[in-house]
Amino acid sequence: MTSPDDMTGADGMTGADGMTGADGMTGADGMTGADGMTGADGMTGAASATGAEGPTGVDGPVGAEGVAGPEGVIRVAVADDQAVVRMGLRALLEREPGMECVGEAGDGRAALELIRRTRPDVLLLDIRMPGMDGLATLRAIAGDPELRGTRIVVVTTFAMDEYVFAALQAGASGFLLKDSAPDELVNAVRVVAAGEALLSPAITRKVIGLFGRHGDARPVEGIETLTPRERELVAWVATGRSNDEIAGELTISPDTVRTHVSRAMVKLHARDRAQLVVFALRAGLALPS
């Protein structure tokens, strides 16, 4: 395991869990294109060439503020207990224009110290780590006013269903599959740094299913202040659809959707669309099919 301060670069590496090649990553736990995310304005999944099944564009609300650092450089930290994964992610990020990897951490406690010291814009966080795991790390970041400005992308697999809704509740801005391609990872960082949420319909369906099995609807502060249209659109957001997709379903303009979603976020004090999904499920809003 490398230390949190270890910033060893790597142009290519191999291993069962690692990554190979200067331009990409492969391996059982590495990142290869599958059901991932691409596109400057959103995400389309390999599961469907038309995007019907894969992740689609996730538009932020009007006035959504990004978190990119000085001169537009996105500062990224990596927390994973496997050194070869950290090194591969660092190599990928540092080759990308406009991105900087500010450090690595091998567990949750080291990740918290790294964030305090470097104040990254985005943290790529593995859920399964020794000692303080990803969920505990998420909760610690959300509970610390000095740290909660860092946006967090949970790096996960579909086999870890039990963590998905818990991670959203704890403050994750989105999820990235460990078999995602390199360009999908880079796009994910840009999406989250821009103040948007990284939620695919596939993951959203899992969240809805998990909540149906384990969650109970309860009052959400501010939900009563939403107009009927705002409630309707929050419910649509909770299905994982983008503003453009919602506009198409309702035959209204994307700008109208964006305006209502933005107002709902302000009323509910939601930081991003990921939190809107949680609020919609907690409040028991009827979701469109």
pLDDT tens across 147-179, in order?
Answer: 988 999 998 776 666 677 788 888 888 888 777
Containing H/E element for 78?
strand 74-79
Q: 218-283: which CATH number, 1.25.40.10, 3.40.50.720, 2.140.10.10, 1.10.10.10? A: 1.10.10.10
| Positions of the chain with pLDDT lower than 50, given as ranges | 1-65
φ/ψ (deg, to 5) at 273 = -65, -25
| Phi-psi sector, 284: left (phi>0), alpha (psi -120 to 50), beta | left
| pLDDT computed for residue 200 by the predictor | 65
| pLDDT computed for residue 242 by the predictor | 82
CATH no. of 16-217: 3.40.50.2300
Helix ranges, the chain (H): 83-95, 108-118, 134-142, 161-170, 182-193, 201-214, 228-237, 243-250, 254-268, 273-283
pTM over 0.85: no
| pLDDT computed for residue 27 by the predictor | 39
| pLDDT computed for residue 225 by the predictor | 93
Which residue ranges make up each domain of the chain?
16-217, 218-283
| pLDDT computed for residue 43 by the predictor | 36
Closest CA to 66 of 199, 184, 181, 173: 173
Tally the residues of the chain.
Answer: 289
